[in-house]
A and B are shown apart, each in its own frame.
Chain A
Amino acid sequence: MDPECARLLPALCAVLADPRQPVADDTCLEKLLDWFKAVTEAGSSLLLLQEHPCLVELLFHALRAQDLSPRTLSFALRLAGVFAAQENCFQHLQGDPSLFVASAAGQLLVHILDLAMREPAEGRVCPQAWDWPVCARKIVCHLEDCLRSDAAPRVTQALHVLTTTFGHCHGLWTQGLWVQLSPLVACLLEKDPMPAPHTLVDLLLSVARSSVPSSDPGLWETVAQTLSRLSPTQAGPLAAGILKLQDCPQALRIQAFNVLLQPLACVLEAATQAPATPGLLEGAAGDLMAVDTLPPSKSACVGLLCSALAHLELLQPLPQRPSPWPQAPLLAAAVTILRFCNGSAAPSSEAGGRLCTMLVGCVRVQRAALDFLGVLSQGLGPQELVTQVFAVLLEYLMSPDSSPMVLKKAFQATLRWLLSSAMPPGCCDLEPCAQLVLGELLAMLQKRLCSPCWEVRDSGLEFLTQVTRHWGGQASFRQVLLASELPELTRQLLQDPESYVRASAVAAVGQLSSWGLLAAPSSPEQPAIPQETPLEALLLILTTDSEGFPRRAVMRVFTEWLRDGHAEVAEDPERFVAQVLRAAGKDGDWEVRVQGLELALVFLERLLGPRGSSAAAPPSVTARALRALCQVQLFEFAFRSLFDCDRPVAQKSCDLLLFLRATATPPGSPQEAGDRPNVASVEAALRRWRAGEQGQPLGELAPEAILAVLRSMDLEALRDTLAKSSDHVERSPQSLLQDMLATVGVLGDNEADCY
């Protein structure tokens, strides 16, 4: 701890201990705690406490005082946890009604237990309960009392403490602890109704992830029983947790997977006309699948389905996901759910009818099912099912009743399925079925782009951008797209009143134009009216749009065009870059300026070769490049950016200039002898810019002068300064302590005034 902080600390401790002094806010205390953590990690905490008795006093005071604010108390407890001291004063605190205090007290208990058990456990396999230190025995006793209690909050608190213990403490002693406490936990599991089921699930999962299962195979038995005793809604998180475990008995995994599959199996059954159709839970007990097992209330049923879908969605990409993965029935279930939701699935029974009534029009389930369906595109499926998938996605995309959010999800899922239908994967040719779908999609998109709802226009444009990115070169796609109104509609949406839509239209125009899909229509009846080119249109947005999003989008498109050699840009890249940098340099939005530097970097790479290659460019190339850079006034832009008030701009510029210097003036390259270029005027301008006077232009610059300036600048030091966060001064612990005391100081003054 630096001396200045050490000097301030006693005053601060006094303030914290004084209930009349309101603590500034929680964030201060959090920061203070972080700082103490850093300090204790760096040195001995015992020494720290010895050197600063004020800390010990604060802790003692906090434990005794009755009128301390909960936030200060919670802070003191956590601080105590950090120091792992004051082990005797915890029990009466744990039942504190304040959630923060209870949680902090719980954490403190865990710390103490860990600390107490670590030492005796060293060298032994698993200490028996009678070997535990007094302090640990006391804590365990307290926990046992809580677990036996009829008061739900006490049980919950004990379970929380145990969950944290098994989650954070990895000593072998935890195995002994489980042996000691598991009978009590088992009793809780058998109670009807089960107390705090969610917390119990957390505990079981925490124990299952610890080293306990290696010593106590009985744990799996307990978990399996719990799984079957919990209601489907409660069992979901436990099942999902089990399936994410690296190592657990196969039978339990099957049981857990069935828990997640069951709601989907019910849905499938509800829509199945012939009972012979293979279901999701083949081999499982028939009554498990009865639709009646779904909760009768709409909210519970919807909640169960959504959570099952969400769990399965998270599970799908994991390497430890169940194998074999029932891809086909899952696809069928997702499609069926979506059909129930839009009212197109016919239920096969009365119970199915009730399910249909609950799901019709339910946006929550639609969103969850569409997300899940999207994830399932990672696997294959029988052709007829894939056809159904596209059919239901089209239904959703075409339905006027799809909410904007559902529509967005449907677009995303459709894109994923189209991508997975490429034949062979990665190639731009689509399966015939997907090909057909794409045609219908484009027809639908035309209408969506005319929607009065801006969210719909926006997600429509995003989708168009994506499909064009992937299939813009494919002949049949081009044919359908060019025959449609889409290019013209997209161009019109550049003037949309909603800035997000304009931004998406910019991206779409960028993509369409890249593929040559924005050609002005010309026919004998309608001779081509001279329209502004896409480049002109986007430049207009860059220079005139009042909102940041469209201008940023334009910069991204321009960068991409430059990188990919867009035809219109390739005609005269220097002119293009000069125009864009001039506009970006004046832009008030720092993201636009950063993007301008990105574009400048791309331009540099075109001239000098890619970044990262160690070889310096040959002198002739460098000379040509420097001339071009001077011509487009890149330096004016880069140097100004170097002193930009927004740090990311300055950082980016610094990187760019470092790259340029490294390539154009490799170390050891001979300084040109003779007449040194006069850089005084440049340096003077830079000094003024640094001082915040931006008006002065740099004027015409010779390449030599540029090189000289680059050499003379300490760009590395600048980069290091910039790398520190802009508020690094304000963030120092000293500043924190001063701030906290200053707040209190003001209060103190006021208090004095009162007398």
Chain B
Amino acid sequence: MEQRNGFMGHFQYCLSGHPTLPCNVLKFKSTTIMLDCGLDMTSTLNFLPLPLVQSPRLSSLPGWSLKDGNAFLDKELKECSGHVFVDSVPEFCLPETELIDLSTVDVILISNYHCMMALPYITEHTGFTGTVYATEPTVQIGRLLMEELVNFIERVPKAQSASLWKNKDIQRLLPSPLKDAVEVSTWRRCYTMQEVNSALSKIQLVGYSQKIELFGAVQVTPLSSGYALGSSNWIIQSHYEKVSYVSGSSLLTTHPQPMDQASLKNSDVLILTGLTQIPTANPDGMVGEFCSNLALTVRNGGNVLVPCYPSGVIYDLLECLYQYIDSAGLSSIPFYFISPVANSSLEFSQIFAEWLCHNKQTKVYLPEPPFPHAEVAVNMLTQDVSLSLLINTLHFQYGAQFIVYFCFIDWLIQTNKLKHYPSIHGDFSNDFRQPCVVFTGHPSLRFGDVVHFMELWGKSSLNTVIFTEPDFSYLEALAPYQPLAMKCVYCPIDTRLNFIQVSKLLKEVQPLHVVCPEQYTQPPPAQSHRMDLMVDCQPPAMSYRRAEVLALPFKRRYEKIEIMPELADSLVPMEIKPGISLATVSAVLRTKDNKHVLQPPPRPTQPTGGKKRKRASDDIPDCKVLKPLLSGSIPVDQFVQTLEKHGFSDIKVEDTAKGHIVLLQEAETLIQIEEDSTHIICDDDEVLRVRLRDLVLKFLQKF
């Protein structure tokens, strides 16, 4: 049973202005749902790098002083190659916390591991008491990213925390980009491992297509989004309303499971975030560019530095490089992967290796060729019956490539093609051989082992740094290292949807409305003529920006109501038109946990005369005896005949725009018959009116 529901609005609170690091809160039905909590780390570009090894260059930078020579900020701000940097522990720009009371958030839905980096700030400091939902790979890899971040920052303790420069009056006097940095007062230092663990403990694991009920009102479902291991889009729906939340998604066939597009159909609103940050660069071309530059450098005796996260694009690169290194004559070049979590990042593959009995292992690790086709590897793996169940589950959830991929990474390590170390200290310094290729973090070049390699290799033009992560402007990232002799190559690899793919997707799933960050509704500022680089849909997409509240446009406003069986039994439907029956119902509407149920009305209280105490349910007021409902229409000719039979004469019928007027001239009475009403207008003659009323009622059905 449906009930029109006009009293409930749906809103989106936009807490992040970053289109690929979204954080939105959706008030949908009676639930408050946070969609992702991305952390904008571009703020760290304003800070000096944290060197792992004492850097004479960085420690001797001059303090910055105002034009008038005032040097009160020289402890906080340092000048380096014409730029001014904050000399302090790097800080991050959090999602908006003032727009909505975050303690009221019921659930947080995470779409991929890049979009959960602000989680500890939300779950640990806002009074949040709800649940976080995410898939297992998202949580595992998200944990690695957080661990790495904490480790990078904590292992280079810096006593100083700069705050003077954040004063609004002072900030105004600073040079760009510090002057233009937004919301600096809300910037926060990195969280601790304890906070990370606590935040992660609030996560409940979900699998693709699993339906999760929220308070009976709303159902949420993660769908494969094809972007990264475990990445998901979310469906948030009630019985009559459906919101699709499309975050980082990809149509490229790499290791994750393909994007589920069909389930996004029939949405009232589709919230679109996480499109490619480099819409003009095709990932395939960029991977080619990456390989070419890498090969050219090492052939020339130079080293290659690839700043990266410990998971994500690095997987794709390793896969492509593997196919390329031998053919390009690079098999003797060592590849190093340095990350405090390198070991854990490869955990999956090691677990797989342990699971496999010895002879299977030798089969899988046949050196030539390791895994030409996905099926081969999976077939080998599934020969072991005890494993097949687990593998099938993973296979089903995350695709065959998922398994093959980890076996491949493990193979790289087993065959010593990829060497991994937690840090530049320890074993690495013994094994280190040049020329080589180093994959290490952090892509911002402000902390992590990459800082050391920038200092070490920056002076030689033989070396190359290749930027593949699209999250940071490479020029800004390089600013504190200038002047730089090493070659810099920008090969951003972003496999997320581009605007052509979005346009096809929207045509395919046809949402009634699209909601997206304002950046997607106009061409990029640097290419204002590229009308193809924006979301093009009808009706035009609704856009949002940071700290905005958006009323979501829902057209359908119905609720589902259940009728108790005994009440349904008591109904007597009457067919008023072929196929349409009506029945009156007297009942009590009971609403609990957002479910609405019609129950039979309480029986009229019997005058028992006993002295029982009244129960709470008896408080419901007695139902009054209801007048019957009428339906049908009055055929004027027959009505006039009936009137004549009952002795009325001198009857005149006039046609009006809405029906007829029957005039009883003698009685000075008129009966106005319209489609949805009949009026008897007589001169204070109640007897006559009742007589006429009864005659009218003869033509109508009652129930």
Query: What B residues does A492 contact at CB under 8 A?
Result: 299, 329
Tell me whether B531 is interfacial, beta carbon within 8 Å: yes
In the complex the two chains form, is B291's CB within 8 Å of A450's CB? Answer: yes
A492 to B288, CA, bound (A): 19
Partner of B288, one of A343, A400, A488, A496: A400
Report chain A residues within 8 Å CB of B326.
497
CA distance A448 to B294 in the complex (A): 12
**Do A452 and B530 contact each other (CB < 8 Å), given the known contacts A401-B281, A401-B282, A488-B299?**
no
The answer to whether A446 touches B288, judged by C-beta atoms less than 8 angstroms apart, is no
Residue contact A450 to B295, C-beta cutoff 8 Å: yes
B287 within 8 A of A: yes
Q: Are A456 and B288 in contact (CB under 8 A)?
A: yes
Docked complex Cα distance between A488 and B299 (Å): 9
- A346, A400, A401, most chain B CB atoms within 10 A: A400
Partner of A356, one of B324, B327, B531: B531
- Whether a CB of chain A sits under 8 angstroms from the CB of B323 is yes
- Residue B604 is within 8 A (CB to CB) of chain A in the complex: no
Contact A343 B292 (CB under 8 A): no
CB of A400 within 8 A of CB of B281, answer yes
A181 interfacial contact with B, CB 8 Å: no
The B288-328 residues at the A interface (CB cut-off 8 A) are 288-289, 291-296, 299-300, 320, 323-324, 326-328
A353 to B529, CA, bound (A): 7
B299, A343: Cβ atoms closer than 8 Å: no
Closest to B527 in A: A343
Closest to B289 in A: A400
Distance A345 CA – B528 CA, assembled complex (angstroms): 11
At the interface, yes or no: B80 with Cβ under 8 Å from chain A?
A: no
Binary contact readout A333-355 vs B (1 if CB under 8 angstroms, 0 otherwise): 00000000001011100000110
Partner pick for B292 among A354, A402, A447, A498, CB 8 A cutoff? A447
Q: Which residues of B contact A489 (CB under 8 A)?
A: 299
- Fill in one digit per residue for A347-384: 1 if any B CB lies within 8 Å of its CB, else 0: 10000011011001100000000000000000000000
Which residues in A have their C-beta under 8 angstroms from that of B320? 452
* Residues in B whose Cβ lies below 8 Å from that of A345: 529
Find out whether the CB atom of B328 lies under 8 angstroms from the CB atom of A356: no
Q: Closest residue of chain B to A360, judged by CB?
A: B532
Tell whether A347 pairs with B529 under 8 Å between CB atoms, given A452-B320, A485-B300. Answer: yes
Q: Is the CB of A446 within 8 A of B296?
A: yes
Give the contacting residue for A450; candidates B281, B296, B530; CB below 8 A: B296
Across the interface, do B329 and A357 meet the contact criterion of CB distance under 8 Å?
no
The answer to the question of B606 belonging to the interface, with a C-beta cut-off of 8 Å to chain A, is: no
Q: Is A451 within 8 A of B292, CB to CB?
A: yes
The docked-state distance in angstroms from the alpha carbon of A360 to that of B499 is 12
Interface residues of B in 472-523 (CB under 8 A from A): 491, 500
A401/B285 contact (C-beta < 8 A), A343-B280, A360-B530, A450-B296 known: yes
Mask, A473-510, CB within 8 Å of B = 1, is 00000000000010011001001111000000000000
> CB-defined interface of A717-733 with B at 8 Å, one 1/0 digit per residue?
00000000000000000
Interface residues of B in 520-551 (CB under 8 A from A): 527, 529-532
B328, A452: Cβ atoms under 8 Å?
A: yes
| Alpha-carbon separation in the docked complex, A488 to B500 (Å) | 41
On chain A, the residues within 8 Å of B324 by CB distance are 452
B286 at the interface (CB under 8 A from A): yes
Cα separation A360 to B329 with both chains bound (whole Å) = 36
| B530 contact set on A, CB distance < 8 A | 343, 356, 360
A50 located at the interface, meaning its Cβ lies under 8 Å from any Cβ of chain B in the complex? no
* Size of interface on B: residues with Cβ below 8 Å to A: 30
Q: Which residues of B contact A456 (CB under 8 A)?
A: 288
Nearest residue in B to A447 (C-beta to C-beta)? B292
Check if A453 is an interface residue, CB within 8 A of chain B: yes
* A681 at the binding interface (Cβ < 8 Å): no
The reply to whether the CB of A399 lies closer than 8 angstroms to some CB of chain B is yes
B288 near A356 with CB under 8 A, answer: no
Give the docked Cα–Cα distance between A360 and B296 (Å): 30
B103 to chain A, nearest CB (A): 46
Q: Which residue of the partner chain, among B294, B295, B300, B532, contacts A357 with CB atoms under 8 Å?
A: B532
Residue in B closest to A345 when the chains form the complex, CB atoms: B529
**A450/B529 in contact, CB under 8 A:** no
B313-347 contacts to A, CB under 8 A, are 320, 323-324, 326-329
A450-B328 in contact given A400-B286, A401-B282, A492-B299 (Cβ < 8 Å): yes
Complex interface bits, A375-410 against B, C-beta within 8 A gives 1, otherwise 0: 000000000000000000000000111100000000
Please give me the residue from chain A that is nearest to B503 by CB atom. Answer: A357
- Which residue, of B292, B300, B329, has the highest number of chain A Cβ atoms within 10 A? B292
Interface centre among A357, A402, A451 (most CB of B within 10 A): A357
Whether B285 lies near A452 (C-beta < 8 A) is no
Contact (A450, B285) CB under 8 Å given A343-B280, A496-B327: no
User: How many Å from the CB of B38 to the closest CB on chain A?
Assistant: 28
A residues near B527, Cβ cutoff 8 Å: 343
Cβ A452 vs Cβ B299 within 8 A: no
Is there an interface contact between A400 and B295, defined as CB atoms closer than 8 Å? no
Given contacts A346-B529, A347-B529, contact A451 B288 (CB under 8 A): yes
Which B residue's beta carbon lies closest to that of A492? Answer: B329
Taking a contact as CB atoms under 8 Å apart, the answer to whether A400 and B491 are in contact is yes
B532 touches A448 (CB 8 A): no
Complex Cα spacing A74 to B248, Å: 60
Docked CA distance A401–B286 (Å): 8
Chain A residue nearest to B330 (CB atoms) is A450
In the complex, A402 Cα to B287 Cα: how many Å? 13
Residue of B nearest to A402 (CB): B285
Give CA–CA (A488, B295) in the complex, Å.
Answer: 13
Bound-state CA distance A456–B529 (Å) is 31
How far is it, in angstroms, between the C-alpha of A452 and the C-alpha of B299 when the chains are bound? 14
Q: Which residues of B contact A354 (CB under 8 A)?
A: 531
Q: Which residues of A contact B294 (CB under 8 A)?
A: 450
User: Are A450 and B299 CB-contacts (below 8 A) given A400-B285, A400-B491, A496-B327?
Assistant: yes
Q: Are B288 and A357 in contact (CB under 8 A)?
A: no
On chain A, the residues within 8 Å of B282 by CB distance are: 400-401
Give the shortest distance, in Å, between A192 (CB) and chain B (any CB). 32
CA distance A401 to B529 in the complex (A): 19
Please name all residues of chain B whose beta carbon is closer than 8 Å to the beta carbon of A495 when the two chains form the complex: 329
A430 vs B13: C-alpha distance when bound (angstroms): 63
The answer for the CA separation of A447 and B295 in the assembled complex, in Å, is 8
Chain A, 401-438, CB within 8 A of any chain B CB: 401-402
Contact of A448 among B285, B287, B292 (CB under 8 A): B292
- Residue of B whose beta carbon sits closest to that of A454: B327
* Contact A353 B531, CB 8 Å, known A401-B285, A450-B296, A453-B288: yes
The CA of A401 and the CA of B284, in the complex, are separated in Å by 8
CA distance A400 to B293 in the complex (A): 11
| CA of A400 to CA of B468, assembled, Å | 14
Q: Is the CB of A452 within 8 A of B288?
A: yes
Q: Which of B280, B293, B500 contacts A447 (CB 8 A)?
A: B293
In the complex, A456 Cα to B292 Cα: how many Å?
A: 11
Q: Are A485 and B532 in contact (CB-based, < 8 A)?
A: no
Contact B327 A497 (CB under 8 A): yes
Considering the complex, give the chain B residue whose CB is closest to the CB of A456. B288
Residues of B within 8 A of A361 (CB): 500
**Bound-complex Cα distance A353 to B534 (A):** 12
B291–A357 touching, CB < 8 Å: no
Which one of A400, A452, A456, A489 has the greatest number of beta carbons of chain B within 10 Å?
A452
Closest 10 CB pairs of A and B: A400-B285, A450-B295, A400-B289, A357-B532, A450-B292, A452-B291, A346-B529, A353-B531, A401-B285, A497-B327
Starting from the known contacts A354-B531, A452-B291, A492-B329, 8 additional A-B residue pairs (CB-CB under 8 Å) come to: A343-B532, A353-B531, A356-B531, A360-B532, A400-B285, A450-B296, A451-B291, A452-B324
B contact set with A: CB distance below 8 Å: 280-282, 285-289, 291-296, 299-300, 320, 323-324, 326-329, 491, 500, 527, 529-532
Could you list some 9 contacts between A and B, CB below 8 A?
A356-B529, A361-B500, A399-B285, A401-B281, A450-B299, A452-B292, A453-B288, A485-B299, A489-B299
Q: Which A residues contact B (CB, under 8 angstroms)? A: 343, 345-347, 353-354, 356-357, 360-361, 399-402, 446-448, 450-453, 456, 485, 488-489, 492, 495-498
